[in-house]
Amino acid sequence: MAFPRDLGIHSAVPAVAGDDDLPTYVERDLDFLLHAKLAGKLPKRGSFVVLVGGSSTGKTRSLYEAIYELVPNWWLIQPAEAADLLEWKNAPPQDTVFWLDELHHYLGAHPPLTAECVRVLVRHGNLVVGTLWPDQYARWTAGRDDVHALVKSADVIPVPDALTAAERARAEDVARQDSRIHDALRSGEVGMTQVLAGGPRLVMCWEQPANPYAKAMITAAADAHRLGVQSPLGEGLLADAMFGYLQPRHRVRPTEHWLTQALPHATEPLYGDVSPLVPVDDGRPGTCAGYTIADYLAQHVRGRRRTEPVPAEAWYALVTRLRRRDDLRRLAHAAIARLRFHYAEIALARLVTEFDDGRAVADLADLLVRQDRLAEAQRLLGDRLATHAEDRIAVRKLSRVQELRQRVELVRPAGRAHEMSAEVAEILADGGVCDGLRQEADAGDAIAADRLVEILFDRGCVRELRSRAERGELRSAEALADLYAGWGEIDLLRARADAGDKAAELRLAKLQRDADRGAAPEYEIGALRKAVDEGDPEAPGKLCSLLFDLRDEPNLRAELDAGTAGAAERLLALYTAQDNPSLVRLRAFGLTADGRLHTP
């Protein structure tokens, strides 16, 4: 028998003594479609069904009710990780439900869940069911690899945040017998399902905490969650991370005091077993591996702290204390997306030494190269090939590093062996891509010339595009005019048009016809940010491109701290266009946790 709590269904707010553990289920409009997707292919063939909706919207409860009604006597398997599920592919059972609540845990695992595994289980008549938040669904359908293809193949049931009029009418009928439904409907807070799950009161525990230590602990857990950490956080890790969230006067007490003040309030159940931080066992009775943050609260804090930098102490605690490979990999990627290369290096180095991770070797080598640590990159790749001679990526990277080392020595000023000029910094940052294209273009390769101009445009290389345009390169003139047009630089376009530049003349005419150009862009930025938060896969690129066109450095920096895809590239492009003196060091060494240039 599967218990609702074990399957991920939230505890509900208790009201009148005698209420059942779970409130009465209110039928949802989606139930008919859900039943049809689950039962449509039974008994000979199963289904792969995923419910997509925000936190505490009733996804898991609806799925539980449908499964219980359709196949109450089937076996149910709730694998701890994707590797457990992959084992069933070789000897698939029948008449079994594979329960994958919070499906992203299995998609981002190492190894990840595969499309083949799900196909085999479904082909044998089983049900594979799961839940996802909208942003996670968008993320795992944006690519073309096997994991993304798997999610695209699912029968998806959207779960709205709020009740429809028909659902509310049914809830009113249920409320006559269930006091919790009655109270939730009368609440002036968020939706009924969120109130039942205790969402607003969880938020209050963070916004109006019992003491600063409780807030620091909850915030640290929430920031870890938005950086991609999924494993429980131990008390030692939380104590180390809390330092960055406390005022100096609160730091003087020993960390034991912090924990004794924070844990009772952060982990105390508000009703049932709902609490801001949820204790998780380590697989043995009477043990606690650490704490995870309640998903509704994590979603709320992520929205409130979306663009807040993560303190240095939290970064360091996470990259040095976490023990799971997938968490370290996600942390490394989150750090690189935010130009926090120092923390990415620590995480990648641990993946290499503790997990023999070949992908991390390649990523770490790239990081060392951009910092002009070419000899270290060579040693790293050489050590990898000494034990994994079949690693083709390492072979190619080692050869490329050797070529880069020779090229850098040729362009580096004589007598300045340790100086990183702008030219050297670019070669190292992009692995010599532009440098190679320039040489090919100068040798008459038209394809290389076009590709070079595309990259220069993307990177905001105004000076080089202008130089090439003045040499009569039409494609460079067009790219330069496109940059000026995107920025609304009418005077610069007019000057080039007056000098006979046809590309500038065309862009100038278009800008002059655009009567709405002067309209305030705040509404567009806000709409795109909302789309980013909702998981629209195209929104990050559109948002960062708009901010680049507006030359809005503060907002680009904010998106960088949010980890928005493309923000780092657009910020570097803006600095390139502005001839920002910090560009060379930023490309190589990135930023400190609080956003200052990092000094190695």
| Reported confidence tier of residue 338, pLDDT bands at 50, 70, 90 | very high
Q: What percent of the chain has pLDDT over 90?
A: 61
Report pLDDT for 504: 87
Q: Give CA–CA dist 395/118, Å, rounded.
A: 34
280: tokens are 């998780």
Average of per-residue pLDDT across 354-360: 96
Report pLDDT for 9: 62
Whether 16 has a pLDDT exceeding 50, the answer reads no
Greater model confidence, 327 or 54: 327
Whether 189 has a pLDDT exceeding 70, the answer reads no
Whether 7 has a pLDDT exceeding 80, the answer reads no
Q: Give the residue carrying structure tokens 């920025």.
A: 487
Residue among 188, 189, 281 nearest 232 (CA): 281
Tens digits of residue pLDDT in 454-496 = 999 999 999 999 999 999 899 999 999 999 988 888 889 999 9
Q: Give CA–CA dist 449/189, Å, rounded.
A: 59
Average of per-residue pLDDT across 97-105: 91
Q: What is the DSSP letter of 6?
A: G
Q: Give CA–CA dist 329/306, Å, rounded.
A: 21
Peptide bond into 79 cis (omega under 30): no
| Reported confidence tier of residue 379, pLDDT bands at 50, 70, 90 | very high
Average of per-residue pLDDT across 345-356: 98
Main-chain dihedrals φ then ψ at residue 560, nearest 5 degrees: -60, -45
Lowest mean pLDDT among 319-328, 501-510, 570-579: 501-510
Q: Determine which helix (DSSP H) or strand (DSSP E) holds 52, and give its type and residue range.
A: strand 47-52
Whether 415 has a pLDDT exceeding 90, the answer reads no
Helix (H, G, I), strand (E, B) or coil at 284: coil
| Reported confidence tier of residue 278, pLDDT bands at 50, 70, 90 | confident
Whether 45 has a pLDDT exceeding 50, the answer reads yes
Greater model confidence, 197 or 218: 218
Greater model confidence, 110 or 371: 371
Residue among 275, 252, 249 nearest 264 (CA): 275
Sorted by sequence, the CB contacts under 8 Å of residue 241 that are 6+ apart come out as 220, 223, 224, 233, 311, 313, 314, 317, 318
Tens digits of residue pLDDT in 381-404 = 999 999 999 999 999 999 999 999
| Reported confidence tier of residue 12, pLDDT bands at 50, 70, 90 | low
Whether 3 has a pLDDT exceeding 70, the answer reads no
Q: Give CA–CA dist 411/413, Å, rounded.
A: 6
269: tokens are 């159940």
Q: Give CA–CA dist 278/265, Å, rounded.
A: 11
Q: Give CA–CA dist 317/325, Å, rounded.
A: 15
- Report domain extents, the chain: 4-158, 201-323, 330-430, 522-589
Helix count (H) and strand count (E) of the chain?
A: 34, 7
Sorted by sequence, the CB contacts under 8 Å of residue 401 that are 6+ apart come out as 365, 369, 374, 377, 378, 381
Question: Which one is the CATH code of 4-158: 1.20.81, 1.20.1250, 1.10.10, 3.40.50?
Answer: 3.40.50
Report pLDDT for 17: 45
Mean pLDDT of the chain: 89
Report pLDDT for 18: 45
**With contact defined as beta carbons under 8 Å apart, do 549 and 555 qualify?**
no
